[in-house]
């Protein structure tokens, strides 16, 4: 049987048309886009077209606001470090407890360097408290960095509103939109967002290509200094094949946007309903009213997520627990802990993340595969008795985190 891939928030398959358009840039179109001869010129024009394609996908006002980088992580670091360098008198940052490690690990490092980082908490559904946010905005804050969509739960944050609030307080606003771009319509022209990060491999382009959107007029310091590529804002010879690929993937994402928000969402909803119907003691993590169309994070109480994944994998079904970057650790993810999901459920939380390549047949296959796997694992679980959870399962074993 064909394998079923439902781990698209970790990475996506490169679209075959995208592969086709990028291949010539490894062979006949190998010129350096900065060269003035015809070899360079052709590639330079292709890079320009890709910049416009990305501009259109995110609704930026100008193509010059698009800076190509190597990945989402580089874009995130560049945004935050640029703000700190351009505003040296401001020593505070506002972010959230549920950001990706691309932001959190940098913030921990900056704390060691003397910056004060405010981490906004989330409620049980993964939502932010905007009053708490408002109370932290001040002229001491150099930048706010808040993700558009959470990679584990798909929960959306109201970043456009939060950017307005930041601007009203004279504070720069960055969003890590790595999971949102390509899945949601985005129109930066009409927003107050100053900087945005995106990553090619989450939208059917290759790994190793990203973008930092930098609103015109926002003061900026590059992370990489050297040649004049990207108007001196990101030195290093352009990864032209991947840039062209990202341009094509952006064009396709725009063309498939409606499908993503209708059919992919319908597949996700069917998957959730089918599983919740057939399996006792399971629930959806995150705010179902405000989520990415492709993501479902389901907590299966009293069993281990890693065990579910292994048994699914045996049947050719790929999903994930937590983010790819934290798997390998036995602790529940920081996102589940922040949402205060009981440890007996956080440990058994699985993320299914779909794409336009999934089919309803695959959804039905997963709906059939999951219930017997859960039943099999519950037979081995110390928290599960003959016909349901043991009394006071919280006390059956000590929690592994406080």
Compute CA 285 distance to the chain's CA centroid, rounded to the nearest angstrom.
16
Pick between residue 72 and residue 286 the one whose CB is nearest to ligand PLP.
72
Cα-Cα-Cα-Cα torsion 263, 268, 270, 275, nearest 10 degrees, comes to 170
How many residues sit close enough to ligand PLP to count as binding (CB under 6 A)? 12
Residue from 54, 66, 71, 275 that binds ligand PLP (CB under 6 A)?
Answer: 71
Q: Give, as ranges, the residues between 90 and 109 that touch ligand PLP (CB under 6 A).
A: 100, 102
Structural tokens at position 284: 């959806």
Residue 67 binding ligand PLP, by CB under 6 A: no
> Minimal CB distance to ligand PLP: which residue?
72
DSSP state of 291: B
Q: Give, as ranges, the residues between 199 and 228 that touch ligand PLP (CB under 6 A).
A: 199, 210
Pick between residue 12 and residue 191 the one whose CB is nearest to ligand PLP.
12
Pick between residue 191 and residue 320 the one whose CB is nearest to ligand PLP.
320
What's the closest the beta carbon of residue 149 comes to ligand PLP, in angstroms? Answer: 7
Q: Give, as ranges, the residues between 26 and 65 that touch ligand PLP (CB under 6 A).
A: none
Pick between residue 177 and residue 307 the one whose CB is nearest to ligand PLP.
177
Stretch that binds ligand PLP, among 39-47, 66-74, 245-253, 299-307 (CB under 6 A): 66-74
| Site track for ligand PLP across 256-295, x = CB under 6 A | ----------------------------------------
CA gap 133, 25 in Å, rounded = 46
CA gap 346, 337 in Å, rounded = 7
Based on the residue annotation, tell me whether 325 is a catalytic residue of this protein. Answer: yes
Stretch that binds ligand PLP, among 69-77, 111-119, 246-254, 287-295 (CB under 6 A): 69-77
CA-closest candidate to residue 199, choices 189, 190, 210 = 210
Neighbour-count burial of 88, counting CB atoms closer than 10 A to its CB (0-12 exposed, 13-18 middle, 19+ buried): exposed
Pick between residue 210 and residue 305 the one whose CB is nearest to ligand PLP.
210
CA gap 111, 377 in Å, rounded = 42
CA-closest candidate to residue 149, choices 65, 261, 226 = 261
CA gap 402, 400 in Å, rounded = 7
Pick between residue 179 and residue 240 the one whose CB is nearest to ligand PLP.
179
Helices of type H across 228-359: 240-255, 257-259, 265-278, 305-314, 334-338, 343-346
Q: Give, as ranges, the residues between 128 and 187 that touch ligand PLP (CB under 6 A).
A: 147, 151, 176, 178-179
Residue from 31, 33, 44, 72 that binds ligand PLP (CB under 6 A)?
Answer: 72
What's the closest the beta carbon of residue 179 comes to ligand PLP, in angstroms? Answer: 5
What's the closest the beta carbon of residue 322 comes to ligand PLP, in angstroms? Answer: 11
Residue with tokens 């920081």: 334
How would DSSP label each residue in 187-239?
-GGGS---EEEEEGGGTTS-SS-EEEEE-TT-----SS-SS-GGGGTS-S---
| Positions marked catalytic | 325
Positions touching ligand PLP (CB under 6 A) are 71-73, 100, 102, 147, 151, 176, 178-179, 199, 210
């Amino acid at each position: 049987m064909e394998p079923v891939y439902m781990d698209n928030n970790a990475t996506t398959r490169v679209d075959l048309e995208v592969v086709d358009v990028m291949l010539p840039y490894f062979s006949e179109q190998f010129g350096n886009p900065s060269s003035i001869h015809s070899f360079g010129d052709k590639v330079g024009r292709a890079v320009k077209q890709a910049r416009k394609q990305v501009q259109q996908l995110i609704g930026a006002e100008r193509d010059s606001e698009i800076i190509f980088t190597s990945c989402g992580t580089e874009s995130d670091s560049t945004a935050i470090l640029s703000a700190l360098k351009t505003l040296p008198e401001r020593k505070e940052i506002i972010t959230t407890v549920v950001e990706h490690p691309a932001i959190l690990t940098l913030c921990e490092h900056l704390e060691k360097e003397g910056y004060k980082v405010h981490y906004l908490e989330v409620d049980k559904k993964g939502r932010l408290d905007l009053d708490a946010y408002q109370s932290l905005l001040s002229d001491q804050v150099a930048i706010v960095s808040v993700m558009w969509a959470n990679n584990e739960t798909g929960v959306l944050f109201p970043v456009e509103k939060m950017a307005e609030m930041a601007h009203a307080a004279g504070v720069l606003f960055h969003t890590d939109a790595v999971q949102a771009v390509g899945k949601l319509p985005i129109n930066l022209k009409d927003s107050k967002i100053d900087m945005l990060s995106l990553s090619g491999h989450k939208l059917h382009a290759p790994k190793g290509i990203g973008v930092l959107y930098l609103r015109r007029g926002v003061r900026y310091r590059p992370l990489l200094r050297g040649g004049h590529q990207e108007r001196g804002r990101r030195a290093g010879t352009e990864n032209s094949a991947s840039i062209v690929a990202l341009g094509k993937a952006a064009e396709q994402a725009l063309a498939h946007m409606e499908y993503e928000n209708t059919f992919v969402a319908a597949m996700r909803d069917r998957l959730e309903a089918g599983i919740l119907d057939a399996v006792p003691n399971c629930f959806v993590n995150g705010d179902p009213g405000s989520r990415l169309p492709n993501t479902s994070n389901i907590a299966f109480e009293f069993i281990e997520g890693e065990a579910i994944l292994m048994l699914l994998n045996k049947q050719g079904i790929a999903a994930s627990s937590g983010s790819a970057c934290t798997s390998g650790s036995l602790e529940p993810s920081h996102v589940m802990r922040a949402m205060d999901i009981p440890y007996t459920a956080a440990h058994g939380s699985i993320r299914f993340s779909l794409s336009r390549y999934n089919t309803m047949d695959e959804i039905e296959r997963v709906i059939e595969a999951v219930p017997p796997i859960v039943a099999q694992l519950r037979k081995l679980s110390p928290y599960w008795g003959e016909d349901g959870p043991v009394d006071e399962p919280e006390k059956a074993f000590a929690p592994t985190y406080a």
